[in-house]
Structure 1
Amino acid sequence: MSQTVTSTVKHSIISDFKEITKIRLSVSVVFSSLAGYLLGVETVNYTTLLLLAFGGYFMVGASNAFNQIIEKDLDALMDRTKNRPIPAGRMSVSTAFIIASVFTVSGIAILYSINPQTAMFGAISIFLYTCAYTPLKTKTPLAVFVGAIPGAIPFMLGWVAATNDFGIEPGTLFAIQFFWQFPHFWAIGWFLFEDYKKGGFFMLPTGKQDKGTAVQTIMYTIWTILVSIVPAFGFTGRLYLTPISAVIVFLLGLGMLYYAIQLYKKMTVLAAKQLMLASVSYITLLQIVYVIDKFIR
């Protein structure tokens, strides 16, 4: 009996740790960072790759832990978040703060060991997410614009980790992930609209599930597609995409655009969920295509 209780407690602690640091989101961010590194590097250094993975995880984990501390009272109001460790009473604010602080220091230190610029962008990401995006979420739909900045850093961060340089190449990677986040987050804001409303969050650009939001979602999806194929035209330095890969990326983009148009036509929760899934597939496959394109040409 005591063994069962002990294993349950251990499971709860592990689950809560994963929840406070949002491990699934962290993994997707690490994936973006590693893709950016592989695009920027001349010769792969596996130690740097490992450091980037851990530094990226700590960076995102810190941001999410601070976010959940700040929003603990609002999280308790929403079905989606009321069972998180702090509002559910399974973790104290002080414990979460210790985790967030340790993750911040560890993340920045690890990224600094790669190079100072990588650490600087990592610190900017944590600061903007925690001190700008999080408090703005209950104030203005422009919070999504602010949140798109730290959200776009990981893809770029990988290139900076590989080169210790910020130029047109990492700037392009930043732009791709920056524009992509608008249809992605507006899709989430649409299908979680009622739940977000309970917490006082208005994430949609018009504040409503209306045609205006749907039109803007289509517009930003088109911008995402256009920015994603720019490297095929030779304007982006060492970041280059072959015509075949550009066509593949363009077709993937048309797939996401299809679901954005479906949201405009149907204006349903299901259509928003489909767009969200399409957007996740798009950015993941885009990064894979970019990396494969570099190593096979």
Structure 2
Amino acid sequence: MDTLNHTITKPSLFSSFVAITKARLALSVVFSTLAGYLLGVSNWSSQNWITLLFLMVGGYCMVGASNVFNQIIEKDLDALMDRTKNRPLPAGTISKQNAFILGVVLTVLGLAILYYVNAKTAMFGAISIFMYVSLYTPLKTMTPLSVFVGAFPGAIPYMLGWVAATGHFGIEAGTLFIIQFFWQFPHFWAIGWFLYDDYKKAGFFMLPTGKRDKKTALQTILYTIWMIIASILPAFGFTGKLFLTKISAGIVFTLGLWMLFYAVKLYKEMDAKAARKLMIISVSYISLLQIIYVIDKFLR
């Protein structure tokens, strides 16, 4: 009977792969990349479908590799937190050696596929993995500035799509990068706030002051405002071929105010419930923004 129960409860290979590559996070990153690609494409052809497929697979491989290496490094720390103690490595369902092999395979495969798209796409993909694994991950236990460092690889996917479509990094890709860069701060500080006690067990200090205080909440508001400003810049003709109509800019601005409302609410209420709500709103915000940008382009 014990053997039978063990067989029933043992995670499948697929579920372990989903967990160690953080599939939901990886797919959201791929979504950002595809949105950037659609914004960058000028004339659609059958070749674009192939490139889109390569971008999806290559993008997932790169993000998945980053998450695998991150979990290898943080295996012992993950075991200390309720949120992460059942991940494949601390739970023992995947060995460190097998995880490392998977990470290497995903990295090589992802880079090869993105290189097929174009060399600059592969280069930015490699930079993203390096910064996430070698800089952001170890800095999480050292300084709250880890969020600033992590915002760089976190902001690459949206602009990566543009680079994949055009083979060029310019003001357009830079604008997409800046929007997602500023978005990272309220998003991750909200997570750092409502998971503060859990993060503390592993020695992670994600909030700018290291505490759930008014200064942290105020900085969350300020970065949300910077994000809103960046998000409507394409409506004023400063961003090259990346353009947003006034109507869409108004919708994007309203979405930003929606997120700002919850950032202000966190400042007023100073509790985990408000922080969790802000985090959920932030995820909806960035997805809706990208959808609006794409729809705006194709309806013009």
TM class, shorter-length: over 0.9
Whole-Å Cα distance in 2 between the matches of residues 13 and 25 of structure 1?
Answer: 19
% same residue: 71
Q: Which residue of 2 aligns with 1:70?
A: 73
Q: Which residue of 2 aligns with 1:173?
A: 176
Whole-Å Cα distance in 2 between the matches of residues 5 and 294 of structure 1?
Answer: 53
Whole-Å Cα distance in 2 between the matches of residues 194 and 13 of structure 1?
Answer: 32
Q: Aligned residues, how many?
A: 296
- What secondary structure, in the 3-state scheme, does the structure 2 residue paired with 1:87 have? helix
Whole-Å Cα distance in 2 between the matches of residues 289 and 137 of structure 1?
Answer: 33
Q: Give the residue type in structure 2 aligned to 1:27.
A: L
Whole-Å Cα distance in 1 between the matches of residues 81 and 41 of structure 2?
Answer: 43
1:63-103 Cα distance to aligned partner (Å, 9 max, x none): 00000000001111111111111111111000100110000
Q: Would you say 1:207 and 2:210 are equivalent positions?
A: yes
Q: Give the residue type in structure 2 aligned to 1:187.
A: A
The residue correspondences of 1:199-278 to structure 2 (distance < 5 A) are 199-278=202-281
Q: Decide which of 46, 53, 61 is 2:64's aligned counterpart.
A: 61
CA drift at 1:13: 2.1
Q: Which residue of 2 aligns with 1:145?
A: 148
1:186-208 Cα distance to aligned partner (Å, 9 max, x none): 00000000000000000000000
TM-score, length of structure 1 as denominator length: 0.97
Q: Which residue of 1 aligns with 2:22?
A: 22
CA drift at 1:258: 0.2
Q: Give the residue type in structure 2 aligned to 1:67.
A: N
Structure 1 ranges of 4+ moved more than 2 A: 1-9
- What secondary structure, in the 3-state scheme, does the structure 1 residue paired with 2:91 have? coil
Whole-Å Cα distance in 2 between the matches of residues 279 and 5 of structure 1?
Answer: 39
Q: Which residue of 1 aligns with 2:166?
A: 163
Q: Which residue of 1 aligns with 2:49?
A: 46
Q: Give the residue type in structure 1 aligned to 2:71.
A: Q
| Root mean square deviation of aligned Cα | 1.4
- What secondary structure, in the 3-state scheme, does the structure 1 residue paired with 2:89 have? coil
Q: Give the residue type in structure 2 aligned to 1:230.
A: L
- What secondary structure, in the 3-state scheme, does the structure 2 residue paired with 1:213 have? helix
Q: Would you say 1:88 and 2:91 are equivalent positions?
A: yes
1:99-134 Cα distance to aligned partner (Å, 9 max, x none): 100000011000000000000000000000000000
CA drift at 1:12: 2.8
1:236-273 Cα distance to aligned partner (Å, 9 max, x none): 00000000000000000000000000000000100000
Whole-Å Cα distance in 2 between the matches of residues 267 and 15 of structure 1?
Answer: 36
The residue correspondences of 1:112-151 to structure 2 (distance < 5 A) are 112-151=115-154
Q: Which residue of 2 aligns with 1:35?
A: 35
Q: Would you say 1:101 and 2:93 are equivalent positions?
A: no
TM-score, length of structure 2 as denominator length: 0.96
Whole-Å Cα distance in 2 between the matches of residues 43 and 183 of structure 1?
Answer: 36
Q: Give the residue type in structure 2 aligned to 1:36.
A: G
Whole-Å Cα distance in 1 between the matches of residues 88 and 281 of structure 2?
Answer: 30
Whole-Å Cα distance in 2 between the matches of residues 208 and 21 of structure 1?
Answer: 30
1:152-199 Cα distance to aligned partner (Å, 9 max, x none): 000000000000000000000000000000000000000000000000
Segments of structure 1 that go 5 or more residues without pairing to the other structure are none
1:21-49 Cα distance to aligned partner (Å, 9 max, x none): 00000000000000000000012310000
CA drift at 1:5: 7.0
CA drift at 1:8: 5.3
Whole-Å Cα distance in 1 between the matches of residues 121 and 195 of structure 2?
Answer: 34
Whole-Å Cα distance in 1 between the matches of residues 31 and 280 of structure 2?
Answer: 17
